Amino acid sequence: MKLELIKGDITTIKVDAIVNAANSSLLGGGGVDGAIHRKGGEQILEDCQAIRQKQGKCDTGQAVITRAGNLPSNYVIHTVGPVYNKGGVLKEQQLANCYKNSINLLIKNGLKTIAFPNISTGIYGFPKKRAAEISVKTILCLAPSEQPEKVIFVCFDDQNYRIYEELLK
Ligand code: AR6
């Protein structure tokens, strides 16, 4: 498994699937979710609406997959991170589940490369360093048969970039 770090906008990354830090409605919002729906266009929302009709809302820590519309990636995996509030073990487990379930879905669909933002660290208020540690640890602990070919951490801001740079040394 290759791990890469990129500073930039996840909507410009060409991988099999980029991950969206969505909310349980799956119908869009602000932050990276807003950027993905804006740039990806109608197709993403259509697929999200179809998933909503089929299964209802998406629980925290779970993930679903849609087409990627106008984005350079082939698919978008939407996962719902925890709202940090006061934190705690459950929130940390839910965040780890976002990474596990997104990667499971990637592999189940025969896909190999995936790009993640630092889930829950914007509007949902999770401390960036702790969230980054959970993301890297969760991915490094995957069994060989559960590993993607490549994982890219995409950092929108300098602070996140420096955190991942340190962790991936
Ligand atoms: N590319 C990569 N990372 C980004 C981008 C981008 N284009 N834009 C933001 N980030 P957030 P959350 C980083 O707030 O905390 C939405 O309204 C950002 O710097 O997007 O999980 C949803 O609908 C931060 O590190 O997601 C939910 O309601 C990280 O992405 C709620 O926000 C996540 O920030 C989810 O909140």
DSSP string, 72-116: SSSEEEEEEPPP-TT--HHHHHHHHHHHHHHHHHHHHTT--EEEE
Q: Indicate which residue of 9, 16, 33, 157 is catalytic.
A: 33
Task: Write down the pLDDT at residue 167.
Answer: 98
Q: What number of H helices and E strands is found in the chain?
A: 5, 6
Is the shortest distance between the CB of 154 and ligand 1 below 6 Å? Answer: yes
Burial of 85 (0-12, 13-18, 19+ CB in 10 A): exposed
Q: What's the chain's length in residues? A: 169
Please tell me the predicted confidence (pLDDT) of residue 23: 98
Q: 30 in ligand 1 pocket by Cβ < 6 Å?
A: yes
pLDDT level of residue 36 (50, 70, 90 thresholds): very high
On whether the CB atoms of residues 125 and 163 are closer than 8 A, the answer is no
Residue type, 129: K
Task: Give the nearest ligand 1 atom to 125 CA.
Answer: 15
What confidence score (pLDDT) does residue 154 get?
Answer: 98
pLDDT in tens, 57-113: 999 999 999 999 999 999 999 999 999 999 999 999 999 999 999 999 999 999 999
pLDDT in tens, 152-168: 999 999 999 999 999 99
Q: Write the CATH number of the domain with boundaries 2-167.
A: 3.40.220.10
Give pLDDT, residue 148.
Answer: 98
Q: Is the CB of 51 under 6 A from ligand 1?
A: no
**Is the CB of 164 within 6 Å of ligand 1?**
no
Question: pLDDT tens, 120-142?
Answer: 999 999 999 999 999 999 999 99
Distance of CA 119 to the CA centre of its chain: 6
Give me ligand 1 centre to Cα 31, in Å: 4
Rounded to the nearest angstrom, the distance between the alpha carbon of 20 and the centre of ligand 1 is 8
- Banded pLDDT at 27 (limits 50, 70, 90): very high
Amino acid at 127: P
Task: Give bridge partners of residue 114 from the DSSP assignment.
Answer: 17, 151
The model's pLDDT over 39-60, given as tens digits with 9 standing for 90+, comes to 999 999 999 999 999 999 999 9
pTM, rounded to two decimals: 0.98
> Where are the domains positioned within the chain?
2-167
Let me know if 158 is a catalytic residue: no
Residue 149 CA, ligand 1 centroid: distance in Å: 24
> pLDDT value at position 162?
98
